[in-house]
Amino acid sequence: MRHSLPTIPQFYVTAPQPCPYLAGRLERKLFTALQGDQAEAMNDTLSKQGFRRSQNVLYRPSCADCCACLSARIRVDAFRPTRSQRRVAKRNSHLLRQVTSAWATEDQFDLFRRYLDSRHADGGMADMDVFEFAAMIEETPVRTRVLEYVGQGPSGRRHLQAVCLSDVLDDGLSLVYSFFDPKLAANSLGSYMILDQIELARQVGLPFVYLGYWVPGSPKMDYKARFSGLEIYHDGEWHVLHDPSQYSGTTHPLSVKPIAEQVAGLSLPSSLSAPISPATRSGGSL
């Protein structure tokens, strides 16, 4: 189905498919194309409403009877590292951060393949080839940066250890995707990249670091709740996450608003604002 506003953009819904986070459930996404002169304004505005970017698409979960996925962000001025996180920062303090434009390299792809083969061999990205990888990195209509973390081996030769793809929003940094050398899993490079993003946001005066979705009940997402200053987007507002146990991944047929009502409730950039009366018509699926 496609749900459209009386002005651009148009919103679509994907067909249901197996959920990658909670077994036995089906996921569905509400999405819109990210293009044209308003791309950055759309990314900024909809990111504040729980959307995420993937290449030239903005999406957020819109499952039929489940609202477990909660957009999460860290308030930089409220973040205080734990003792364990301070150890992670110290353990990786030798790494050199190199910030580049959104351009894919062979070294990145080699690291990406080793990461997937070791940790996500049965995931939805397992079959990605070099061209699809380049598209993931390079197909962006907004301010996107690649952060490479480079270490030095015993021979003195530098080698790529971790990579983070991040968007620069008007109020923060948004982590689109990250991966690292699976042989260095003990170094907690995933957590280190988040810590480094927090420090980078602090240095440039951005108040938030967007982490994607936190999913109660999913072991893959537990680590996000370990960061202090975490806020989650729930019922149309950002809330400080005081107690993760207050949220659950239970399902209920009335837990999700109808798609047309979701679209009508979205705020758009001022240049696209118009009275919203969404119409429903047939269309394709992602």
Q: How confident is the model at residue 282 (pLDDT cuts 50, 70, 90)?
A: very low
- Cα-Cα-Cα-Cα dihedral sign, residues 181, 187, 190, 196: negative
Q: Burial letters for 209-247: b for 16+ Cβ neighbours within 10 Å, e otherwise?
A: bbbbbbbbebeebeebbebebbbbbeeeebeebeeeeeb
Instruction: Report how far residue 172's alpha carbon sits from residue 185's, in angstroms, rounded to the nearest whole number.
Output: 27
| Residue 99 bridge partners (DSSP) | 147
Looking at residue 86, its pLDDT comes to 97
Q: What pLDDT does residue 1 have? A: 54
Which of 101-105, 213-217, 221-225, 263-267 has the highest average model confidence (pLDDT)?
A: 101-105
Residues 26-39 have pLDDT tens digits of: 999 999 999 888 99
How many angstroms separate the CA atoms of 26 and 69, rounded?
A: 12
Looking up tokens 């997937």 gives: 116
CA distances from 137 to 70, 120, 132, 167 (A): 24, 19, 9, 11
pLDDT value of position 252: 64
Q: Strand 208-214 vs strand 172-180: parallel, antiparallel, or unpaired?
A: parallel
Q: Where in the chain is the domain with CATH 3.40.630.30?
A: 73-232
User: What pLDDT digit, counting tens, does each position of 111-134 carry?
Assistant: 999 999 887 656 667 688 999 999
Q: What percent of the chain has pLDDT over 70?
A: 86
User: Apex CA 206: angle with CA 205 and CA 211, to 5°?
Assistant: 145
pTM, full prediction: 0.88
Q: Domain 73-232 class?
A: alpha beta
CB 169 within 8 A of CB 45: no
